[in-house]
Each structure stands twice: as structure tokens, then as C-alpha cells.
Amino acid sequence: QVQLVESGGGLVQAGGSLRLSCVASERTSSIYVMGWFRQAPGKEREFVAGITWRSNPYYADSVKGRFAISRDNAKNTVYLQMNSLKPEDTAVYYCAADPSIERFLKDYLGMAAWGKGILVTVSS
């Protein structure tokens, strides 16, 4: 199975920026869609952003206008540029990948691949 490794998390003040990266171990149909979910303490995991192989982006309403997702297929890498960060963005961010955009957006139980997660903390 494809492996996903996240990087770029950390501590940032409200209003600041971070860029997350996620590298897939191989190029297969399983990474047709790549993107990010997040889980805050005491809350369920939620969709953040996703992007198809052809760079069609999808965003949760809570991050539209602040976050930008992109990918570099030659590097098997997806990025999440996070601007104007808010304390409510604090969460463990998980990279994910799947062949289907429909399944990805629904946080499909059988998601093809998950990263181990990376912590983003936004202080006020």
C-alpha cells in the first residue's frame, strides 16, 4: 500500500501561516485524490481540503479563502498553505489519498491511505 508522510506542522500565532506537505511513497491510482483531514481534541475528524490529479481543488467552508491546496505530481506531493490561521484550526492534520473524489470527500471508511498525522497549534 502507498505510504503517506506529513511534514510542516508546528506552533504559530493567530493570523500567521504554515505550509503542510505530504509525500506519497509511490505513484499509483491510489493517489488520484490527495488532501487533508483534521481532528481537534474531543471532536470528530473533519474534511479540510482535497485535490485531484488534475489539480481540481475542494475545500471545507471553514477554510475557504484562507487555505490553498496544491500538488506536484512529479514529486508525489500535496501541499496545504494555511494563512490567517485561527485558534480553531488547532488540530492533528492527516494526509489522505484515494482513487475516488466522491469517497474522499465523504471520509470513506476504506480510504486507500492515511498519514500518521501532524500537529498544528494556533495560539491567540
Above 90 in pLDDT, residue 4?
A: yes
Which pLDDT score is estimated for 107?
Answer: 85
Kindly report, residue by residue over 32-57, the tens digit of the pLDDT. 999 999 999 999 999 999 999 999 99
Q: How many CA atoms within 13 Å lie on the side-chain side of 9?
A: 19
Cell of 29: 491510482
What is the mean pLDDT of the segment spanning 6-23?
Answer: 98
Signed CA dihedral, 9, 105, 83, 75: sign only:
positive
Above 90 in pLDDT, residue 91?
A: yes
Q: How far is CA 19 from the centre of its chain?
A: 10
